[in-house]
Structure 1
Amino acid sequence: MDNDKQVLATSELATLPLGHNWYQKLASNFEIIEQYLDKLDTDELVVNDLKNKFDDISDKINIYETNMQAIVNILSDYDVPIAIVDGKVVETEEGE
């Protein structure tokens, strides 16, 4: 598919006398449209692949955060002065 804007022949059909080549012009419309539909299909596959990767990364981040919170909770139970602040594990003062 080239970057030149292609004009569909159907926009001319209202002014054409429907002679012998009208079907050729109509067929060329489908060739033009097909190029764009194929590109849309390819783009959809790329978008779906990116969405799947994003979902996978999001799941891994959620598991990581859950595990980190569990570790901090366990350490806190043993009076280790530690907490999660702004998503980071930090040492706290005793009694906080």
Structure 2
Amino acid sequence: MAIQLVTDQLSNVLDDTLRSQLVGNFKEIEKALNDLDGAQARLNSDQDKINQDLKNIKDGNEIRDVNVQAIVNILTKYDVPIQIVNGKVVDTTKEGE
């Protein structure tokens, strides 16, 4: 959307034409500024939603990691040969055992 302001065509005389041209320019500028304020508010709202989603994902990952570690601890307690290595659950039995 291009904003068309009266620039080179401004009246050279201090009359109603000049006044209406200036008022028209100010109305266009005001509308553009209000549109920018609305867009900024939407961007802030979207950013807040994204940040909350990221926090939820992070919290979910932490809960998952704790749960996986608890499962590994329980299985280890019952002599199931597994452990977490580099974030993965692996079988710790050696081949041929």
Fold shared, TM-score > 0.5 on shorter chain = yes
- Larger Cα Rg: Structure 1 or Structure 2? 2
The aligned residue for residue 88 of structure 2 is: 88
The aligned residue for residue 43 of structure 1 is: 43
Identity of aligned residues (%): 29
Structure 1 unaligned residues grouped into runs of 5+: none
Which runs of 4 or more aligned residues in structure 1 lie more than 3 Å from their structure 2 counterparts after TM superposition? 6-9, 16-19
Q: What's the TM-score, normalizing by structure 1?
A: 0.71
**Which amino acid counterpart does residue 20 of structure 1 have in structure 2?**
R
Query: How many aligned positions are there?
Result: 87
The aligned residue for residue 68 of structure 1 is: 68
**Which amino acid counterpart does residue 19 of structure 2 have in structure 1?**
H
Which has the higher relative contact order, 1 or 2, with Cα contacts under 8 A spaced 6 or more apart?
A: 1
Q: CA RMSD in A?
A: 2.5
Q: Structure 2 CA distance, aligned partners of 1:24 and 1:69?
A: 67
CA deviation profile, 1:49-78 (whole Å, cap 9, x unmatched): 121111111111110000101111122122
Q: What's the TM-score, normalizing by structure 2?
A: 0.70
